[in-house]
Amino acid sequence: MRWSRKGKLNVHQLLPSFSPGDAIGNEALALQDVFREWGASSQIYAEHIHPSLSNQAKPYGDYSGSSADVVLFHFSISTSLTSYVKRFPGRKILLYHNATPPRFFRRYNSPIAALLERTREELLSLRDDCTLAMADSEYNLRELEEMGFSRTEVLPILIDMGRYGKSDGEVEINLKGKTPLFLNVSRIVPSKCIEDIIRIFYYYWKCISPEAWLYLVGSPELGGTYLNQLQQLVSALKLEHVVFTGSVSDATLVAYYQSADILLAMSEHEGFCVPLVEAMFFGVPIVANNACAIPYTLGGSGVLVNSKSIPEISELLHLILDRAELRNRLVARQKERFESFRPVSVRALLRKHLESVGVAFPHPPASR
């Protein structure tokens, strides 16, 4: 079946949670803009919608789809949307963002851990229902293929780079002179291994530079008691230069990136890791753990560590900061890698993948 350019085309998105600052929610908004630009009607429907975004999405129960519709289902956790999508009469396209192993959450947030226990079984149940299964990294694609999904493609996360146009001047002033400044941008959840970052920073602060600062940017919403544990660690180490910012605006995030000397990511699980691409865009050197999708997203750029040796990583950070030539080489290679994630490249892939399964948009792609 092919959706004709002559008829009306509906391409709607379904996702479990729609909240500010979330990478999947941000991508849904960016995809919606693209679908509308290409002439399709497009809405976002979610199971849980943050009150601040209630005008940008609708409860999924409000959706009454038809067999002529195309639905893009963002999948990353067990949700009542799965059974809903399976019953949906139209064409179903999966966008898989990977699912965090439940072991990370059992000590801190048992309800989330319980959902994650069921996630891969639900994913498998979708195997024969989807016309196309897209993964936002090669790492995620491998998992889909191992589970037997027959038609798969890679689609990197579409990032709206226009979000990064304005910086918060007051935050910039506050950060001035705080150098070296190490940055981590992620949800404050156990799989991100923030405690490793804090311990690395402690060594750097104690043995290399007491002037160093660490900013941990992200929401603790799903982490349960994890934030409290991290704060206790910071207190036990008597660290004064560690800041938990919580969720921040786009302008504030820009200020942090523009002020950062190194992005430090020690996560043990990632399906893509948008902050790596953001750091590429802002020219911030990356030091990251060699796990899951991280090496795929970096694609030979940044610095990967294979062992979490705290002294060695701390000395590596000092080496990058001390040698301008090394830092410049890292940033240049990251800029090259960033070209693969430019919206124009991802949009072209998206259109190619959807047209390959018969989705014909009324309008041609913009020449940009």
Kindly report, residue by residue over 260-301, the tens digit of the pLDDT.
999 999 999 999 999 999 999 999 999 999 999 999 999 999
5 has pLDDT over 70: no
Predicted structure pTM score: 0.94
Measured between alpha carbons, how far is 78 from 120 in angstroms, rounded to an integer?
A: 8
Q: Inter-axis angle of helices 194-207 and 310-322, to 10 degrees?
A: 60
| Average pLDDT across the chain, whole number | 94
Give the confidence band of 7 by pLDDT, cuts at 50, 70, 90: low
Token look-up 């999924």 returns: 60
288's tokens: 């990251």
Q: Where in the chain is the domain with CATH 3.40.50.2000?
A: 11-161+342-356, 165-340
| Per-residue pLDDT tens digits for 64-107 | 878 899 999 999 999 999 998 998 888 999 999 999 999 999 99
Per-residue pLDDT at 8: 86
Q: How does pLDDT run across 120-134, given as a tens digit for each residue?
A: 999 999 999 999 999
CA distances for 140 relative to 43, 152, 221, 329, angstroms: 26, 10, 25, 29
Match domain 11-161+342-356 to its CATH number in 3.40.50.2000, 3.40.50.2300, 3.90.1150.10, 3.40.47.10. 3.40.50.2000
E strand or H helix at 135, and its extent? strand 132-135
Evaluate if residue 1 carries a pLDDT over 50: no
The angle at the Cα of 198, spanning 172 to 196, to the nearest 5 degrees, equals 130
pLDDT value at residue 324 = 96
- The CATH H-level (homologous superfamily) assignment of domain 165-340 is Glycogen Phosphorylase B; (3.40.50.2000)
